[in-house]
C-alpha cells in the first residue's frame, strides 16, 4: 500500500478523531504509512458569527474536498454531520466506521437538571436544532449563541452568563472527557440528534480502488444503513444548518431500520415529527420526508432558506 495522506480540519477534535481512525486502520494493517495534513476550512475561519448565518452547507468540507480532487490528500476524515447530503461527482464515502454516542450532552453549573433550571436561565448552543427543541419543551428558558471548541465552551460556562451548555456527546467522548462532567445525556425522546451525529464519514476519490478495499475492512454496515436513512431525509427535505432539522435511525432487528425525522421552526412553536420503519434505508428516509412534506414541514424550510439568500 502506498503512503496515505489524510486531510483533516485543524481543530483539536478533528485531529484527535482522525488519529483514532488512523489507529483503527493500523490495527488492520500495521505496515501502513499514514500522514495527516491539516487543512483550514471556511467554517474554522468564521468564529464570530452563527454558521447558520453564513451559508451552512459544506463550510467544513469544501476546502478538504478540493485537496482530494487535486490529489494532495488521499482521504478525508469528517464528522458526518458536517458533510452535505450530496457529494461532488468523483468523490464517495468509502467507509462509515463505528458510531460514537449520537446524543447531545447537557452540562450545567452545579449539575442542575434541565427540568429544574429557574425561569430565564440561559443555555448556550450554536445549533438551531437544539435551541428549537429546548424552547418547545421549556419556553421559560433562554437560548444564547455560543461558538468555540469544547474547552472554550466549557470555560465560557464558568466565566460568562450561561447557566448551561449543550454539546455533542461524541466530541466529549472522543476527547476523553469523563462522564462526570455531563449533567445528563439527552436522548432522542427529548432532543432528536443531528443527522449523522456521532458518526464519521471517510471520503475519498471514487476511483481509488486500492484505498476503497482497505476502507471496507473497517466499514460498519449497520451504522452505514442508519446514516443513509438520515442523510436521505436531509437530502429530500433540502435541509441545512439554516433549518432546525434532526433525524436519528436505529437498527431494530436484522432486517428493519427505524427512523425519526424532525423539522421545527427556530422559535420551537412549530414541530413536524414522524417515525417510520422499513428494510431499505433510502426508502425509510424518503417516506419520512414525504409524510412531513404532506404536513407542511417543507414550508418552514423554504421560508428559512429564502430568508438566508
CB count in 10 Å sphere of residue 2: 9
SS3 letters across 9-41: ECCHHHHHHHHHHHHHHHHHCCCCCEEEEEECC
Q: How far lies 14's CA from each of 40, 71, 74, 161, in Å?
A: 11, 21, 17, 28
Pick from 75, 300, 291, 285: which is nearest to 196 by CA? 285
Catalytic-labelled residue, pool 74, 82, 104, 163: 82
82 tagged catalytic: yes
Rounded Cα distance, 153 and 125, in Å: 9
Continuous H helices in 94-197: 128-137, 150-159, 169-174
Q: Which three cell numbers stand for residue 98?
A: 463505528
289, burial (CB in 10 Å: exposed 0-12, middle 13-18, buried 19+): buried
Rounded Cα distance, 78 and 18, in Å: 8
Rounded Cα distance, 251 and 202, in Å: 21
Q: What is the residue-wise DSSP string for 221-243?
A: HHHHHHHHHHHHHHHHHT--TTS
Q: Which three cell numbers stand for residue 34?
A: 499514514
**E strand or H helix at 299, and its extent?**
helix 297-308
**E strand or H helix at 184, and its extent?**
strand 184-186
Residues labelled catalytic? 82
Amino acid at each position: 500500500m502506498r503512503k496515505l495522506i489524510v486531510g483533516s480540519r485543524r481543530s483539536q477534535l478533528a485531529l484527535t478523531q482522525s488519529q483514532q481512525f488512523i489507529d483503527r486502520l493500523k490495527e488492520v494493517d500495521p505496515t501502513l504509512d499514514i500522514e495527516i495534513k491539516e487543512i483550514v476550512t471556511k467554517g474554522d475561519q468564521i468564529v464570530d458569527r452563527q454558521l447558520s448565518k453564513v451559508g451552512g452547507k459544506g463550510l467544513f468540507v469544501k476546502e478538504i474536498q478540493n485537496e482530494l480532487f487535486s490529489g494532495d490528500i488521499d482521504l478525508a476524515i469528517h464528522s458526518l454531520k458536517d458533510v452535505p447530503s450530496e457529494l461532488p461527482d468523483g468523490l464517495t464515502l468509502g467507509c462509515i466506521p463505528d458510531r460514537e454516542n449520537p446524543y447531545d450532552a447537557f452540562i450545567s453549573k452545579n449539575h442542575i437538571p434541565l427540568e429544574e433550571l429557574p425561569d430565564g436561565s440561559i443555555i448556550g448552543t450554536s445549533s438551531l436544532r437544539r435551541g428549537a427543541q429546548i424552547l418547545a419543551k421549556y419556553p421559560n428558558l433562554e437560548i444564547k449563541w455560543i461558538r468555540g471548541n469544547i474547552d472554550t465552551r466549557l470555560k465560557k460556562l464558568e466565566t460568562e452568563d450561561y447557566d448551561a451548555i449543550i454539546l455533542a456527546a461524541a466530541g466529549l467522548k472522543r476527547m476523553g472527557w469523563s462522564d462526570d462532567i455531563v449533567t445528563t445525556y439527552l436522548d432522542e425522546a427529548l432532543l432528536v440528534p443531528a443527522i449523522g451525529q456521532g458518526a464519521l464519514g471517510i471520503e475519498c476519490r471514487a476511483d481509488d480502488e486500492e484505498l476503497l478495499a482497505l476502507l471496507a475492512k473497517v466499514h460498519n454496515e449497520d451504522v452505514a444503513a442508519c446514516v443513509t436513512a438520515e442523510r436521505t431525509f436531509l437530502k429530500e427535505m433540502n435541509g441545512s444548518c439554516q433549518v432546525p432539522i434532526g433525524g436519528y435511525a436505529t437498527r431494530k432487528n436484522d432486517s428493519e431500520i427505524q427512523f425519526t425525522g424532525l423539522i421545527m421552526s427556530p422559535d420551537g412553536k412549530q414541530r413536524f415529527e414522524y417515525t417510520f420503519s422499513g428494510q431499505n434505508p433510502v426508502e425509510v428516509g424518503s417516506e419520512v420526508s414525504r409524510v412531513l412534506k404532506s404536513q407542511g414541514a417543507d414550508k418552514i424550510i423554504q421560508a428559512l432558506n429564502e430568508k438566508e439568500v
